[in-house]
Structure 1
Amino acid sequence: MPVYHGRDAFLPITNRLSAELEVILWTVRSLKDLHISRFDLWSDCGTTITALDQPEKWPLYRSVLDQIIQVMSSFHSCCFKASSFQANTIARDIARSMTIEG
C-alpha cells in the first residue's frame, strides 16, 4: 500500500479540512484494497464529519467528497464518528515520533 499511495503524501494541502478529507480518501481506498467490508472511522475534526454527512453544503470540497462517497458505496457498512481531541493523543504522539526527524 505505501508505494501505491506514497505519491499522495506530498499534495499541497491548504487547510485542515482538506488534509482530513485527503487522509480519509486514502484510508477508504486502502480499506477497499484490503477487502475490508465494515469499519468505523473516527476523527477529532467535527467539520470533517459534518462535510461527510452533508457534502452538498461543502461545494469547495465536492471533488474529494464525491470520491470518498464513490469508494464508500463499495462497503457493506461504514460509519464516520467524531472523537475528542484528547482521545487521539496516543495516535498523535506516534505520528509525531515517526516524523520528528523528517
Structure 2
Amino acid sequence: MSRVKLIGDMKEEIEQWFQLNNISSSEVTANTNLQHCESWSPVENGAIKCNVHANWINAHLHSGVAWIARDHYGNVTHHARDAIVHAPNHFIAELRCIIYAMTSLSDLGVTSVILSSDYTEVIEAIKSPLQWLRHRGLLQQVIQLKEKFQTITFEDEKVAANGIARDIARSVLRDGRFQSYLAMGGPSWLHDKIAREKHPSNI
C-alpha cells in the first residue's frame, strides 16, 4: 500500500471518528438537557424555591397538600403537609395548597420565594386573576399574601421535577397523616431522593 493511500485511509478514518463522536456528543447533550428539564433544579438568585402539590382524589375525600422549600444549594429548609376537606376539584385544592404554603412561608419569615406547581392552569390563574373570576375569592387571598413578600414568583414545574412534593402529599391519605405538620429539613423517608435531586451528577 502506498504512503499516499495509507494517509488517505487514515484521514478518512479520522473524519469518520469525528463524525461519530459529534453525533454521540449531540445525543449526550440532548439527553442531558432533557434530564435537566425533567428534574428538579434550584434557583440561581439565592431565593427559596418552594414546590407544592395537592393530592386530590374526589370531592368526598380529604385531599393531601404539601410543600417543600429548598435554598439555592438544594438544601431543604422546611417541609409541611396537611389534609383539607371540601375541595370540589383539583384546581381549588391546588389553590388552597398554594395559600397554605404562602401563609406558612410568610410566618417563617421568608421574604423571597419562587413557588412552583405542576398544575399549569393554577399558575396561569394566579398570573391573570381577572380571567379566572370564578375563583376570585381564593385568588384574592393569593394577591393579599403576595404583599407579605419582597419578591415572589410563580412558576410551572414538570411533574417529574415536582416528585418530592407529590410524595409528601400522597402520604397524607396513604398513611393516614391527617394532622397538620411543619418541620425543618426534609422528611427522613425521602432523604435519598432529596439527595439525588441535590446532586444529580452523582446519579
What TM-score results when the alignment is normalised by the length of structure 1? Answer: 0.83
Higher RCO, Cα 8 Å, sep 6+: 1
What is aligned with 1:45? 119
Aligned residues: percent identity? 38
What residue ranges of structure 1 are gaps of 5+ in the alignment? 1-7
State the match for 2:135 in structure 1: 61
Asked whether the equivalents of residues 83 and 172 of structure 2 are also in contact (C-alpha less than 8 Å), the reply is no
Cα distance, 1:97 vs structure 2: 3.8
- Seen in structure 2, the aligned counterparts of structure 1 residues 97 and 29 have a Cα distance that, compared at 3 Å, is closer
Matches of 1:14 and 1:40 in 2, distance apart? Answer: 27
Aligned residues: 95
**What SS class does the counterpart of residue 39 from structure 1 fall into?**
strand
Structure 1 28/91 Cα, relative in aligned 2: closer, same or farther at 3 Å?
A: closer
Per the TM alignment, residue 53 of structure 1 is displaced from its structure 2 partner at its CA by 0.4
Superposition CA RMSD, Å: 1.6
1:17 pairs with 2:98: no
Matches within 5 A, 1:1-102: 9-102=83-176
* SS class of match (1:9): strand
Distance 1:51 1:87 in 2: 21
Q: Alpha-carbon deviations, 1:39-72, whole Å to 9, x = none?
A: 0000001001100000001111100100110011
Runs of at least 4 residues of structure 1 off by over 3 A?
none
SS in 2 for 1:66: helix
d(CA) in 2 for partners of 1:94, 1:53: 26
Shift of 1:79: 0.4
Higher helix proportion (structure 1 or 2): 1
